Amino acid sequence: MIKLNINNSGIRDHELSMVQPMVETAYRTLMERTGAGSEMLGWLNLPFEYDKEEFARIKAAAKRIQEQSEVLVSIGIGGSYLGARAGIEFTKGPFANQLTGDGVEVYFAGSNISSDYVQNIFDIIGDRDFSVNVISKSGTTTEPAVAFRLFKEKLEAKYGREGAKSRIYATTDAKKGALRGLAVEEGYETFVVPDATGGRFSCLTAVGLLPMAAAGMDIDQVMQGCADACTKYNNPDLMTNDAMLYAAMRFLMLMKGKSVEILANYEPSLTMFGEWYKQLMAESEGKDGKGLFPVSANFSTDLHSIGQFIQDGSRTMFETVLWVEQSRHDLTVPNDPANVDGLNFAAGRTMQYMNEKAMKGTLLAHVDGGVPNLILTVDRLCDYTFGELVYFFWKSLAISGYMIGVNPFDQPGVEAYKKNMFALLGKPGYEDAKEALEARLSVLD
294 scored as a contact of ligand PA5 (CB under 6 A):
no
Considering beta carbons, is residue 37 or 103 the nearer one to ligand PA5? Answer: 37
Q: Determine the size of the site formed for ligand PA5 (CB under 6 A).
A: 15
Which one, of 281, 229, 234, lies nearest residue 259 by Cα? 281
Considering beta carbons, is residue 137 or 180 the nearer one to ligand PA5? Answer: 137
| CB closest to ligand PA5, residue no | 199
Which member of 66, 74, 80, 298 binds ligand PA5 (CB under 6 A)? 80
199 scored as a contact of ligand PA5 (CB under 6 A):
yes
Q: Is 283 a catalytic residue?
A: yes
The torsion of the CA quartet 110, 112, 116, 117, rounded to 10 degrees, works out to -50
Site for ligand PA5 in 404-443 (CB under 6 A): 411, 414
Which member of 200, 250, 287, 395 binds ligand PA5 (CB under 6 A)? 200
Could you tell me if 42 and 196 are in contact, meaning their C-beta atoms sit under 8 angstroms apart?
A: yes
Q: Is 92 a catalytic residue?
A: no
| Phi-psi label, residue 375: left if phi above 0, alpha if psi -120 to 50, beta otherwise | beta
Q: What is the 3-state secondary structure (H, E, C) of 351-398?
A: HHHHHHHHHHHHHHHHHHCCCCEEEEEECCCCHHHHHHHHHHHHHHHH
Which member of 35, 87, 144, 274 binds ligand PA5 (CB under 6 A)? 144
Q: Is 304 a catalytic residue?
A: yes
Q: In what order do the strands lie in the sheet with 373-378?
A: 2-8, 373-378, 317-324, 260-265, 293-298
Minimum distance from CB of 21 to ligand PA5 (Å)? 31
Q: Which of 32, 52, 53, 304 is catalytic?
A: 304
Rounded-to-integer distance, Cα 332 and Cα 324, Å: 18
Q: Which residues share a beta bridge with 317? A: 260
Selected range binding ligand PA5 among 45-53, 96-104, 192-200, 357-365, rule: CB under 6 A: 192-200
Q: Which residues share a beta bridge with 72? A: 106, 131
Which member of 198, 211, 291, 387 binds ligand PA5 (CB under 6 A)? 198
Could you tell me if 310 and 297 are in contact, meaning their C-beta atoms sit under 8 angstroms apart?
A: yes
Considering beta carbons, is residue 195 or 312 the nearer one to ligand PA5? Answer: 195
Rounded-to-integer distance, Cα 204 and Cα 201, Å: 8
Binding site for ligand PA5 (CB under 6 A): 77-80, 136-138, 141, 144, 198-200, 283, 411, 414
> Active-site positions?
283, 304, 418
